[in-house]
Amino acid sequence: DQQVKQNSPSLSVQEGRISILNCDYTNSMFDYFLWYKKYPAEGPTFLISISSIKDKNEDGRFTVFLNKSAKHLSLHIVPSQPGDSAVYFCAASGTSYDKVIFGPGTSLSVIP
Amino acid sequence: DGGITQSPKYLFRKEGQNVTLSCEQNLNHDAMYWYRQDPGQGLRLIYYSQIVNDFQKGDIAEGYSVSREKKESFPLTVTSAQKNPTAFYLCASSIGVETYGYTFGSGTRLTVV
């Protein structure tokens, strides 16, 4: 049973528009959430994170929103650029965990 | 430049043969991890190590073995007992298991024929 879910396997967005990637989790013990970006044949790279004590964290064009009551987080990319085309993994962990749990990923295509 | 090196990038093996994937880091990280990526399934944890000479099974450890004799190295052996070994394998490290920002290697694509 997946504890971290990304229900959209793929997403296409026009360059310059907003990309919204969604993630849901089932374990209420999770208190730290991360987004990783992965290009084909490369390892994932850390993008942005958020602690459960916050509901928003922003870094340049990337913003992560956390809704704890809904066990939902989202990554917003504004404006989207062709170089953002990649697979985005949502991940979660908690103080009682000794590992990070990854979601299945969403493949984002930004169309020029 | 500090980082994680996985070698080789592509590996082909015959069915029934054991194969060892290399992972080396010069980040002075205590914790190291092996993940497997399959289409539609994201990253699944195979094994992880919090410290030298210690390692724990992840979610899909069957058919795999690891060793952690040096802080810098965490090789993964895919044994003939692994039923479906063809996959993309990723090694990662972090300062400690309590630290969530992982640094990943560039991966090894293993194809068993």
Sign of the four-CA dihedral A12, A15, A18, A19: positive
Q: Is A41 on the interface with B (CB under 8 A)?
A: yes
- Closest by Cβ to B100, choosing from A32, A42, A103: A32
Mutate to test the interface with B, among A1, A102, A107 (most CBs of B within 10 A): A102
- The band of B81, judged by pLDDT with boundaries at 50, 70 and 90, is confident
| Cross-chain Cβ contact B40/A9 below 8 Å | yes
Which candidate, A96, A52, A57, places its Cα nearest to that of A72? A52
- Closest by Cβ to A46, choosing from B42, B91, B101: B101
Rounded to 5°, angle at Cα A102 from A80 and A36: 30
Chain B residues whose beta carbon lies within 8 Å of the beta carbon of residue A100? 100, 102
Give the HSE-up count for residue B83: Cα atoms under 13 Å, Cβ half-sphere: 3
Bridge partners, A73 (sequence order): A23, A66
Question: Helix or strand or coil: residue A83?
Answer: helix
> Using one digit for the tens of pLDDT, what is the confidence trace for A1-32?
678 999 999 999 999 999 999 999 998 889 89
Q: B96: phi > 0 → left, psi -120 to 50 → alpha, else beta; which?
A: beta
Which of the listed ranges A69-73, B13-17, B77-81 does the model predict with the highest average pLDDT? A69-73
